[in-house]
Structure 1
Amino acid sequence: HEHVLVYFLTVAQPCLQLLANNSRRTFRKGAPHTGIPWQAGLRRGSALEADGDSMLVREEGFYFVYSQVYYMDSTFAMGHVVIRRKRNVVGDEPQYVILFRCIQNMNPVHPYNTCYTGGELLFLEAGDHVELLIPRSTANVSLFGDTTFLGAVKLA
């Protein structure tokens, strides 16, 4: 997947990659969710910025959004969701929209597996947030940036 990002960067597209921060711990968010502590990795341009443990969209447009989590948990299945938290909500549409879901079966003896999402072009508006959550109250995951990450590249 790195070759895709390298291609986009050679044409100077605005981008942001958040890397898991192993100097912090995962945290509970809402009732049944675990959040990943992020730190800013690669950033180009001003279309996206890190905002706490999520990405803040500064410029509307079409984005390629991707994520990966490295699970080290013996729970039978692990996975995550990438969520858009809309700044502007019209009528009865939901504020939170699931952009991607990822799920992996876990081996109880050797519980190591990655789960990757990406590949769909998404229209995001200025003020939207993009965040990654694990729909479990606890999760054992790698917090190294080369194994767990969340990123976006603005295409147009």
Structure 2
Amino acid sequence: MLYSALLSLAAFMFCLSVFLVHRASVLENDLRKLQGDIILQFNQPRSEGVNGKMAKMSERREDIKPSTLPNSLSSLKVSSRRVKRQQGSCRAPTSFLQLTANTNKQPDIKGNITVIPWTVSAQQGNAISQKENRIVVQEDGYYLVFGQVLFKSPSTVMGHIIQSLSSTRTERTPTELLCCLQEMPDKTPANTCYTAGVVQLLQDDELELVIPYRPHSLISMDADSTFFGVIQLN
């Protein structure tokens, strides 16, 4: 009898230990699942209402609207600026033309004026071209016109005039645009006369630089001393 009682007690204790081990394993799994749910709740937006998924989706939409729209607008502004820069970079380059004195020729006296023989030293674009000793405008617009002459004549006053021959007039009489006068020193005469200005020109207008007649005028034909040019401004 005692032996049977001990055997039954041992079997009961064994079953109890197996049951406790199983419950402990179940409780451990439940605890891990609960921890995972808590971590997930902290990482996700809080939801209210009966349908939690719909609440989360609505909160996400509300969160997206104020944050993404400004970014989209700013990206549009940046892209529009890039387009403008690309359009600006695609514009035709500014046209200009600079003439320097031709050292192989001598100044030409025509009536009461002296004309310097010119040669092209720098040119870009199609809005300005050269015709003999004149500059021809190919497009209407505003232009910067400039000219310099180095005089070596012993005289009271030396200078030059930049004039235009308009294409709109029936008689192509010259119109004075810019004028430069320079008093020459008595000893070692050498003085530059420079002038520049912005003028409105029309297509086919012709510009020339002339020197009022001086019988004994001496002009430097160096490229860095005597030059004549036009730059397109628009």
Calculate the TM-score normalised by the size of structure 2.
0.58
Among residues 74, 86, 100, which one is paired with 2:178 in the alignment?
100
Match of 2:166 in 1: 86
Q: Deviations over 1:92-127 (max 9, x none)?
A: x97311011101111122110000001x32111111
Paired position in structure 2 for 1:144: 222
Superposed CA deviations along residues 107-150 of structure 1, whole A, max 9, x for unmatched, are 122110000001x3211111111100000143210111111000
For residue 104 of structure 2, what is the aligned residue in structure 1?
23
The 5 Å alignment of 1:17-56 reads 17-29=98-110, 31-56=111-136
CA shift at 1:75, angstroms? Answer: 1.5
Aligned to 1:69: 149
Separation (CA, whole Å) in 2 of partners of 1:12 and 1:87:
25
For residues 15-56 of structure 1, what are the alpha-carbon distances to aligned partners after superposition, in whole Å with 9 as ceiling and x for unaligned?
000111111100012x21000010011000011111101101
CA distance in 2, matches of 1:103, 1:94: 25
Deviations 1:38-79 (A, max 9, x none): 001100001111110110111111000000000010111100
- Displaced runs of 4 or more, over 3 A: none
Give the counterpart letter for 2:189 in structure 1. P
Matched to 1:65, the amino acid is V
Tell me, yes or no, if structure 1 residue 131 matches structure 2 residue 191: no
**Residue number in structure 2 paired with 1:116:** 194
C-alpha displacement of 1:12:
3.4
* Alignment partners' CA distance in 1, 2:143 and 2:134: 15
Q: Which has the larger radius of gyration?
A: 2
Asked whether the 8 Å contact 1:73–1:112 carries over to 2, the reply is: yes
- Superposed CA RMSD: 1.6
Q: Which has the higher contact order (CA 8 A, sep 6+)?
A: 1
Tell me which protein shows more strand as a share of its residues: 1
Aligned length: 142
Whichever structure has more helix as a proportion of its residues is: 2
Question: Residue 28 of structure 1 contacts residue 137 of structure 1 at CA under 8 Å; is this kept in 2?
Answer: no
Amino acid at match of 2:198: L
Paired with 1:41 and 1:51, the residues of 2 have a C-alpha distance of 14
Query: Which of 93, 103, 109 is the matching residue for 1:12?
Result: 93
For residues 166 and 140 of structure 2, what CA distance do their matches in structure 1 show?
12
Partner of 2:232: 154
| Structure-1-length-normalised TM-score | 0.86
